[in-house]
Chains A and B, each alone.
Chain A
Amino acid sequence: EAQVTQNPRYLITVTGKKLTVTCSQNMNHEYMSWYRQDPGLGLRQIYYSMNVEVTDKGDVPEGYKVSRKEKRNFPLILESPSPNQTSLYFCASSTRGTQYFGPGTRLTVL
């Protein structure tokens, strides 16, 4: 089954404790992206990757890092999480403009 998977689905952490949210797709898509969803703001792009070893900032990249060492995986790294990064995060992959989203990771930073 073609899908985008994210782990964990739910995470509660404390300020400053480094964390990684994994994202994996099995569709051989070149393009992957991370979004955050906040009330009243819709989905905002954090980072995207056009292919292996090619990443670029989206609209809200501050406080986040990504890497794309292999085509199927695109982890999101929060080196020092802060409460304003409490949000619902979505990973997506695509080849021709239609993005396919993972199920989401709800992150709470205390």
Chain B
Amino acid sequence: DQQVKQNSPSLSVQEGRISILNCDYTNSMFDYFLWYKKYPAEGPTFLISISSIKDKNEDGRFTVFLNKSAKHLSLHIVPSQPGDSAVYFCAASAREIQGAQKLVFGQGTRLTINP
């Protein structure tokens, strides 16, 4: 049972435009969400996170939106740059119950930024 789902295996966006990556979850106990970025032959690197007490968190070109009622979060990248081409993983944890360290990951979305 996939508790965190990224339904789009791939996404192609023009350089300079907005990239929107989506993630859905089923476990209502999740209270902390993260996005990781992964380049080939490297480990995932932390990008941005959001607590369930917020509905938006912004860091430079990256913004994460959380819709708790829909159990949905999204990552917006504006403007998209060629270096953003990577696989993006959504992850969630139920910090109050299991601690911050127990992460559940989605399947990943491969983002390609075209010049």
Partner-B contacts on A (CB < 8 A): 4, 31, 33, 35, 40-45, 48, 50, 58-59, 90, 92, 94, 96-104
Contact = CB atoms under 8 A, between A and B. Distances in A.
B46 A40 contact: no
Interface residues of B, number: 27
Given A97-B93, A98-B49, A90 B106 contact: no
Contacts of B99: 50
Contacts of B32: 97
B102 A48 contact: yes
A99 B46 contact: yes
Interface string B1-32: 00010100100000000000000000000001
Interface stretch (B36-44, B55-63, B64-72, B77-85): B36-44
B105 A43 contact: yes
Given A41-B107, A42-B106, A97 B41 contact: no
Nearest to A44: B105
Contacts of A59: 104
Given A4-B43, A98-B46, A43 B100 contact: no
B52 interface: no
B34 interface: yes
